[in-house]
Every structure is written in structure tokens, then in C-alpha cells.
Structure 1
């Protein structure tokens, strides 16, 4: 199988926060990969913009060091890194003042795609957007990329959207969620809407429940002060898990086009029912020999912020009425793992006996660490001795199915940045999506804050608090094991 790499149009990409951690770890190494893949046209340019006073040569040296530090050994070479860095420029800029804007205006070119990646705090979005227009750096065709958090509640999300809308049309705004750039997430749409095998079964009549899990082994660490004002609900559920929920549950769009897809996602969010306290479990990790407790990491001995959350969610529409969707995410868990598990109902009647026939099919979409899908099916156990049944997976990992070259799929940031240059907003959140998600999330958070709920403690390296297990057991179900 030969990979098809389609070059994008010539562009100038300005990265505000171009010396920051995200730029060094993800954005610039991802762009280097696209350069090596032949997707970046010869005239494309990348301009770093940050407060640091330095020249372009010093910036190129920093980028070369970042590529060597954050890409695996053997995935880069000095010659190609040097060629990539020739495309880089730099301007020292004051996001809230006038310094550097005249120089930036002189660097960006006419007749190419202009994209501006705001890898900075949301508090700077308005200042940068205003100056991009005031100094003629951006025009009506330019594109602006913003990172989460998209507010911390409905009111701040609306204010942020208003700030961006004052200077850019919605068609120019790209709210990036790297989960949507994962190959398996996009394959979810291909599996659902490209195969007649699944779509007729994709409803409450045949699906018992769905589990969406994003578990992490890391603690909040140095992000403790930030995380304590956010928590797992704001940091993960309101955006990442919400987007996965929308893709798994949405109706078929009329076309695979940005607004058609996002219209259907919005309908799912607006159909979410309020979540009662009995359907929510929040937790905090304890300390152990390998690390401090959450409260120690957060430097807040009275913290009620959750490092883990599990929820049972219901969608009030014809397709999903009566089929719960279970969400869970947390820090310092047993393994780093992200997956969606679609658990189908048992056959209505088993000809093999009550126990042998109760082996429901499960479609598992793995997002990390090994992207792929497998479908668990029931077969006869080989050998004599009667009809004994067993479960086997029909497995499709990208590495096994496509070969080592094809399995080296682009990183989520690589794919999404190239989509910005193409002008394809399909995998980016729209402003009304963000506001609808907060409108559902806010009452849940307000509820536990008013009740002054205290999160349940759980052991590091476990699958979370006992209450999360009980949440499923009360419904006669079990979480898939975090491995």
C-alpha cells in the first residue's frame, strides 16, 4: 500500500508562543514530520513569535534542539533538520504592546495562506487578534488557531467567542482539540458511515452501553496550581471526552463537510440529559512511595478538586434512549490508555444454554497507546467435547494491518495543522459547540460545589475509586479493565 501525501498550498504560519513548551514538544516537531513527508511546499514559511529577544539564527538553533529532544532517535537526521530550519524566521513581539508588530507585518506575504497559531494563554487571545488586524497582519482570508481551555464556564466561553468574533469570522477560527486528530477517531466515522455492517446496529435496540475511558499514569505534578482550578471535569470531560461522545453517538451527516458534521455533534450535546449526583463519582489520588498525593501536588490541603471522574450519561433521543454512556478519566491510574468500547446486547435467545450464549460482542476503538480497533466475537472452542464457546478478537492494529511504513501515521497535531492550511474545519470545534458543552457542564459542577462534595480517595496505580466500580455494578455492568 502506497501512502498518498497531498501537498498543501504555500503558507506563512505564525506561531505565537513559538518558544513555549507546546511549540517545542508538538507543533514544531510535527511540522518537521510534514516537511520530511513532502507535504510542505518549497515556499512555505514558519515564523516564531514570542517575548524573547533573539534573532532568527538563534531560534533555528532552538528548534533543531527541540526536534532532537522530543522526536525518537532515528526519526530525524541533521541534514533534513537543517533544511527544515531554513524555512524558519523569528520576531520578538509584545502581545499587549506595540513592539514587534511592524516587523511581523513586514514578514508575512501576500498571495499565500496566512495562519496564526495562538499557543498562548487565552487571556492574550483578544490582544493578539486586535493587533493582527490593526497592523494589517491578518486579513479576511487568514486563519487563527486557538488552544483549549475555551473558557472555564459558559460565561467565559461566550466572552472568549465574542473576543474572537470581533476580529475573525467563525469560518476563520480553528479551535483545536488534538484528540480529534487521532487516526482512530477519524476511522470511527469511516467504520460507522462507510460500512453497512455497523450502522443498522448502532442504536439502543442492539447496543447495551458504551464506555469511554481516558486513563493517565502521570500525576498533575507541576501543573498542580492550574489543575486545582480546573479538575478532570473541565480539563478532560468538557472537551476531549465530550468530542468522543459526539462522534460515537451522532446521526449520519448529510455530507462529510465541516458544518454538516458539526451540526450533528451539536445535536448530541443539546440532547444530553442532566446528570444526577448518584451518577457521578469523583476521586483524588493518594500519596505513596512513588509520589505525593493530589492535595500535596496541588499545594492545597483542603482541595475538593477531582483528579478522577466517572459518570453515567444519557442521551434523550430516539437512537440512544435507554442506552447509557459511561465516561471515566483520571490521573495516576494503572495504565496510560484511551479507548471507546461499544458493548452490544446478548442475543435474545441462546441455543447454547444460558451461560454459554451470554457473550456479547464488543467493538473496541483504541486511541492510545496502540491505535487500532478490535471486535470481540464468539466462536466454538476448537477440539472435541461438545459445543463450548469462547471469545476471540477480530483485531486491526495499524501496525499489523498496514505495515510499518503505513502505520507511521501523522501525529494529531500534524494532521490538524495541515487541515488549517487547507481550510478544512471538520475536526475543529465550532463556537456554538463549545457553549453548548459548557451549558451542560456548568450545572454539574455547580451541584457538587453547592453540596461541598469531597472526592473519594484512590490508590495510585489502581483503576480509580471504589465508587466508580459500584457505579457500574449497580447497573449490572462492569468497566473494562485498565491494563
Structure 2
């Protein structure tokens, strides 16, 4: 029977962040922990231990955090007294995980008889070494948990190797593979939207649904991540995790319960039902792009090849669009269009479910393609809109598409935790539902890897697209072949 940690607000917790002085810690992890501390969602006796190669004392590190983290906490939530109280939970351990024989300094910093959460905010190449040395130092016990940041490998073989190495020291129910998209309120609400509403569930299948679009668009470039990003690209960085997880929630069958494994079992079935692409399919149904010089709003921006740290001849894709099929009765012949890109016209994550037209068009004024759509906005706003046809005021029967809107911020005015805050609280409380299981991760790579290899075999050209656009024209052509268009 799987081990379940029973967490008490009065228990003691050491939360140990490897890469504790890095960009992710400053921008996401420490702000999230501060918010959890502010709202008393951490154990009363929590200690945050940052581990890194900077030669900091505790005071040096706390001052470093003072300079770098408050900008990522909203003003409305920043309480100077609580902030200083939070800073007193921080300490720092200077060590090089590669060169240290044993983590003696960490052994001394961590308390006895406490629950320990190890957050590996480092390059995945260090995961094996860290876990081996944690075990050798006696820091892992039956209540310990480990959080693994993406990307978990760059292909199936490396993902399996990481899973094997971590799994040698932690049980599967101790391993939290984090995808921050699964911490978003609207993403978690998809389960209720799908399985808690009798209006939608009978229609949630072919032939009632004719297509599904999933878009995760960013208006930023690679910034300081060029060193990582150029070795990964949009497919590994976004499609393999974020977009496929969204696809799973949209396409999964009802789970038998809300237990973590029941939900993840159904997501796994979706991944295993994705139709594998042949070389011909890859050439026809995928588009790779790379942004070139353009403008976003009134600001001129450089192209990818001009970014600091990007090789002048880089063939890394910053944009991917593809058409996928799920070979099940529910989704037979329904295309799923996935799209992600950097330096696009605006930041937007959305899911668009397009319903079939009525069997007979009684209203000649209705243009072809003016169908009912369910539009689920994930960011920057969180909203659900149902597009229906309505009669325009006046004589005659002229029709127009209108939206039934649910603004989640208006419907639920209480504070909404950010994704990392929500997921970190889940880790502390031992809740696995919104984290990927090993077989999910490997099934995603089994589908993605042949596409990446196919691009290499095809010597696939990159489609340039101006920064500030909606991506390459080939992406629109991919949709148009089936009679669809992106709902921008």
C-alpha cells in the first residue's frame, strides 16, 4: 500500500532548495513560499534551506533575497513585517554538488526528526548526483519528498535514466514532477467543468465536437535562458509537458475517483492513444518556426538569432504547431491543434472547443464556420466563454455570434493563489494529484521523440515569422486544410 504522509500544521519541515540562489528561486519559489507563509499554509516550524555554489553566509543570502525577490511579490500582498518574519526562516548552505564528497554542511544545517522536501531547481543532469549524495548523507527518510523541475530529459532514454536514478532513492509516491500549468486555477477547474456539468458531458465527444485548439503563446523572447533554450526548443520546452498535459485533461475519460492515481490513469490512456506520426504525417501535420526581427506594440524587437547566447546558425524552433489525433471512440477523427511560440503578438493561453454546426442551416445569414465554441482562457485573464448564435435586434432574422461569459475573477473574488504557491502547498501536504507520474512522462516522450527525430530526417526547414505576429503562415495553412482557423 502506498505510503501517505500525514502533515500537521505543528510539524517541522525543512524545505531544501538546490539552486536556491538561482533565477527560478528568486522569481517563483521564494515569492510562492512567502505567500504560503503569509496565509499560514506552511507548518509552524518551517525552515527553508537554500543550497548553491555562491559563497554566501546566511546574512549574505538573506540580503540577496531582499534585493531580488520583492519585485515578484504583488504590492497588495507585500507586508513588510511578515516579509521580515519570512526571511528569518531562510538559511544558506554553500556547496558544489559535483565536487562535494558528502553533504556534510547540509547534514549540519538540517534538523533531526523533521520532514524534508528537496526541491531540485537545477539542471536535470545534476538530479542523479544530488539524489545519490542525499542518500549517502542519510538525509532521505520515509517521509521525504523530492520535487523535480522540468525538463525531465531531452528524449525518452534520458527521461528513463533520470527516473531510474531518482527512483533508486525515492518511492514513486515521494516524487513530485512539477508542471506549473497544472497549478493554475483554471486548469484545475477543467475537471469540474467537464465532469461536474451535465450540460456539457453528453456533448463532449465526436461528432458533436469537430476540433480542439490548444494555444500557449508568449510575447517574450528567450531572455536570459538562451543557453538552455537553444538546446531544447519549443517542442521539448512546452509541447512535451504543458500542452500535452492540457490535452490530457480535455480528452480524458471520467476517472473512477479523485484520487491521484485514478486521475493519472486516465491521463495516461490519452497519451497512449495519441496516434503515432509517420514521416509523411510529420511533414504534413507539423510546423516549426523561428522568430525574426519585428515589433510588439510600439517596441522593435530583435530576432532569435540576434539574441545573446544564441548561435548565429541555430536551427532551434521557437514555434511549433501540429495536428494530432486520439484514436478512441470518443475522439475518432477529431483533430487536436496544438500551438506554442515565443515573441507572438500577445501572451495568451487558451483552449477552444469547436462544436458541430446544426445538421440543417435554417438561417441563411449565418456564415459558414460561425459555430458554437467553448473558449477557456487560462492566462493572462481566467475566463470561460460559450459562443452561441443570437438574433440581432430589429426585423428579420439576422444572426450574430455572442458570448455567454463567466469571469472567474468576478465569480470568485477571493484571492487566488499563483500556480507555484498552490503546487508547493500540495507538496508540503503530500498531495500528488497535480504532478506527473513516471509512466505519464515516459508516454509523452514516446509520442514526442519520433516527431523530433522526423524533423532531423526530413532536414525540416524553419518557417520564419516576424516577432509580434501570430506565427508562420504555414500554421494557418495547417488549420485551413481541414476548414478551420485559429481563434485569435
TM-score, L = length of structure 2: 0.93
- Tell me if 1:224 matches 2:202: no
Tell me the secondary structure at the aligned position of residue 340 of structure 2.
Answer: strand
SS at match of 1:209: strand
Q: Does 1:325 align with 2:332?
A: no
Q: Does residue 52 in structure 1 map to residue 54 in structure 2?
A: yes
Aligned-residue offset at 1:315: 0.4
| Equivalent-residue separation in structure 2 for 1:458 and 1:148 (angstroms) | 27
Matched, 1:473 2:484: no
- Of 362, 367, 370, the residue aligned with 2:378 is 367
State the 1:371 CA deviation.
1.5
C-alpha distance in 1, partners of 2:368/2:317? 40
Q: Which residue number in structure 2 is paired with residue 279 of structure 1?
A: 285
Say whether the 8 Å CA contact 2:9–2:44 is kept in structure 1. no
Moved more, 62-71 or 432-441: 62-71
The superposition leaves residues 409-458 of structure 1 with CA deviations (integer Å, 9 ceiling, x where unpaired) of: 11111011111111111111111111111111111111110111111111
Note the C-alpha offset of 1:221. 3.4
Q: Single out whichever of 40-49 and 260-269 deviates more from structure 2.
A: 40-49
2:4 maps to which residue?
Answer: none
1:259-293 deviation per Cα after TM superposition (whole angstroms, max 9, x unaligned): 11111111111111123120111111112472332
Contact 2:179 2:241 in 1 (8 A): yes
Task: Choose from 134, 137, 140 the match for 1:135.
Answer: 137
How far apart, in 2, do the equivalents of 1:387 and 1:7 lie? 62
Aligned to 2:416: 409
Tell me if the contact between 1:115 and 1:142 (Cα under 8 Å) persists in the aligned partners: yes
User: For 1:13 and 1:44, how far apart are their aligned partners in 2?
Assistant: 7
- Give the Cα–Cα distance (whole angstroms) in 2 for the partners of residues 81 and 129 of structure 1: 31
Note the 1:183-194 alignment, pairs <5 A. 183-194=185-196
Partner of 1:303: 314
The corresponding residue for 1:393 is 403
* Alignment RMSD: 1.9
Whole-Å separation in 2 of the counterparts to 1:15 and 1:459: 39
How many pairs does the alignment contain?
Answer: 472
Equivalences for residues 243-282 of structure 1 within 5 A: 243-275=245-277, 276=281, 277-282=283-288
Moved more, 364-373 or 241-250: 364-373
> In structure 1, how many angstroms separate the alpha carbons of the residues matched to 2:9 and 2:472?
48
CA distance in 1, matches of 2:239, 2:359: 34
- State the partner residue of 1:66: 68
1:7: Cα distance to partner? 5.6
Q: CA deviation at 1:37?
A: 1.3
- Native 8 Å contact 2:102 2:136 kept in 1: no
Given that residues 119 and 147 in structure 1 are in contact (C-alpha distance below 8 angstroms), is that contact kept between their aligned partners in structure 2? Answer: yes
CA contact under 8 A between 1:178 and 1:412: conserved in structure 2? Answer: yes
Change (3 A) 1:436 1:366: same
1:438 aligned to 418, 441, 445, which one?
A: 445
- CA–CA distance in 2 between the matches of 1:367 and 1:95? 37
Contact 2:288 2:463 in 1 (8 A): yes
Cα distance change, pair 116–334 in 1 and its aligned pair in 2 (3 A): same
Q: Secondary structure at the match of 1:44?
A: strand
* Distance in 2 (alpha carbons) for counterparts of 1:7 and 1:42: 6
Superimposed CA distance per residue, residues 449-480 of structure 1 (whole angstroms, 9 cap, x where no aligned partner) = 01111111111111011111111111111111
Distance 1:393 1:288 in 2: 33
Q: Please say which of residues 286-295 and 261-270 is displaced more in the overlay.
A: 286-295
